[in-house]
């Protein structure tokens, strides 16, 4: 039986970074390298599994009990974020962490510091897995993948373990907001499911942001600067002016909890043309709609000031707060709370300040809260995950399965 650490390290070695510029699914063919591997490994463990044309791996473990109980699913995404390099990952294993700084040896003078990330001190004495400073780690969400596969390994090698029907799902492209756009909930066959895609140990989430993207184009007018008076329209400056119209206090670095934000994520321009983009987020649907409307009003203001056609915006909704879909099925959340308590974990129920495949799945008719995968500092070179958190997440999966089968693990 493969140890969960070895499994996790093997998965993060596969480059699966998704590509937001691509229109295909999966958005990057390299995601299929890990998806094929997972499908094959499930089959080798005796699980009926398939990989479809859209990059979805679906597996099914039949019930081994006589009672009729709900089919429960566990889902994780294989892609890593476009925000930092994801190829040639070189993890560092820090055993019996002493509470000090951890040098990231791939970059001179770069360290993971408790003074900057004080939550590191919660994990003194544990085994931390970090990056070497040159890439992200990929615990988001390969920790979740490893946790699910470790639980499957336990189930298939312990026939005495009582369980109902268990469904397994692995998806591409979650990091670019397209993870389950074509996911067939009926084919998957679960009554309820959980994404293993949260942060630190104990997190349990059934509320997430409403989310939209806004792409803005500014058309300027370039004239030789020596003869530009009254003629030039510098698109870079106009774009900066539009950005300054948005409330500073609604930038992500000034928000927390249920506070939403407008986050500029890219900016590329010349005097003639500039393109930039935002993500718009809020838990409250009414505030979310107002944020989108205000961006549109800013575009209108620029066009009134500089002439029609100066600014154009394309604003698209990405996903919605799954709270409304989970509230009629709160027993799904209650099961997760009980499963964590059985594992000696104090649940931390909180809103996701981000998104999850579970949001779109919930609106597709599959109630799907989000459970911790254990990682911290996602999407960057400071990412790390405690091994003990990964182990606890796998234990929680088995506890949930046992609870649905009517018998504690």
Tell me which residues are annotated as active site.
Answer: 79, 174
Token pair 């506070």 is at which residue?
A: 259
Token pair 């046992």 is at which residue?
A: 402
Contacts of 150 (CB under 8 A, 6+ apart): 4, 7, 394
Question: 360 — phi, psi (to 5°)?
Answer: -65, -35
Tokens of 325: 């879909």
Crossing angle of helices 235-245/285-306, nearest 10°?
140
Q: What share of the chain is helix, strand, coil (3-state, %, to 5)?
A: 35, 20, 45
Neighbours of 13 (CB within 10 A): 15
- The helix (run of H) or strand (run of E) holding residue 141 is helix 139-157
> How do strand 166-171 and strand 72-77 relate by DSSP bridges?
parallel
Q: For the purposes of burial, counting CB atoms within 10 Å of the CB of 37, is it exposed (0-12), middle (13-18) or buried (19 or more)?
A: middle
In terms of DSSP H, where are the helices of 264-329? Answer: 285-306, 323-326
Specify which residues 103 forms β-bridges with. Answer: 111
Q: Tell which residue, 161, 193, 168, has the closest CA to residue 64.
A: 161
CA 203 from chain centre, in angstroms, equals: 14
What is the C-alpha end-to-end distance of the chain, expressed in Å? Answer: 20
């Amino acid at each position: 039986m493969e140890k969960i650490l070895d499994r996790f390290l093997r998965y993060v070695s596969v480059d699966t970074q998704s590509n937001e510029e691509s229109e295909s699914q999966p958005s990057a063919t390299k995601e299929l390298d890990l998806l094929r591997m997972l499908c094959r490994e499930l089959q080798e463990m005796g699980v009926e599994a398939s990989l479809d044309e859209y990059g979805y791996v679906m597996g099914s473990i039949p019930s081994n009990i006589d009672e009729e109980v709900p089919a429960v699913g566990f889902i994780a995404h294989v892609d890593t974020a476009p925000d930092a390099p994801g190829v040639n990952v070189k993890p560092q294993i820090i055993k019996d962490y002493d509470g000090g700084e951890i040098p990231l040896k791939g970059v001179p003078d770069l360290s993971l510091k408790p003074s900057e990330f004080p939550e590191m001190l919660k994990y003194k004495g544990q085994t931390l897995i970090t990056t070497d400073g040159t890439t992200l780690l990929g615990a988001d969400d390969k920790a979740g993948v490893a946790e699910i596969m470790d639980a499957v390994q336990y189930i298939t090698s312990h026939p005495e373990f009582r369980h109902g029907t268990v469904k397994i799902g692995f998806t591409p492209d979650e990091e670019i907001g397209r993870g389950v756009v074509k996911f067939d909930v009926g084919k998957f066959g679960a009554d309820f499911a959980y994404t293993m895609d949260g942060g630190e140990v104990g997190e349990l989430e059934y509320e997430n942001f409403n989310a939209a993207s806004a792409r803005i184009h500014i058309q300027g007018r370039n004239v030789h600067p020596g003869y530009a008076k009254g003629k030039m329209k510098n698109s870079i400056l106009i774009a900066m002016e539009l950005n300054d119209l948005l409330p500073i206090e609604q930038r992500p670095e000034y928000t927390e909890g249920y506070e939403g934000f407008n986050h500029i994520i890219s900016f590329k321009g010349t005097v003639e043309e500039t393109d930039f983009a935002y993500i718009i987020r809020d838990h409250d649907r009414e505030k979310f709609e107002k944020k989108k409307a205000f961006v549109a009003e800013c575009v209108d203001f620029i066009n009134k000031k500089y002439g029609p056609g100066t600014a154009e915006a394309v604003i698209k909704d990405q996903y919605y707060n799954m709270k409304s879909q989970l509230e009629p099925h709160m027993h799904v959340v209650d099961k997760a709370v009980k499963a964590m308590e059985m594992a000696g974990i104090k649940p931390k129920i909180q809103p996701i300040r981000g998104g999850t495949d579970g949001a779109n799945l919930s609106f597709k008719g599959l109630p799907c809260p989000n459970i911790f995968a254990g990682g911290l500092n996602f999407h960057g070179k400071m990412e790390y995950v405690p091994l003990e958190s990964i182990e606890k997440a796998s234990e929680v999966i088995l506890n949930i399965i046992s609870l649905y089968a009517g018998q504690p693990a």
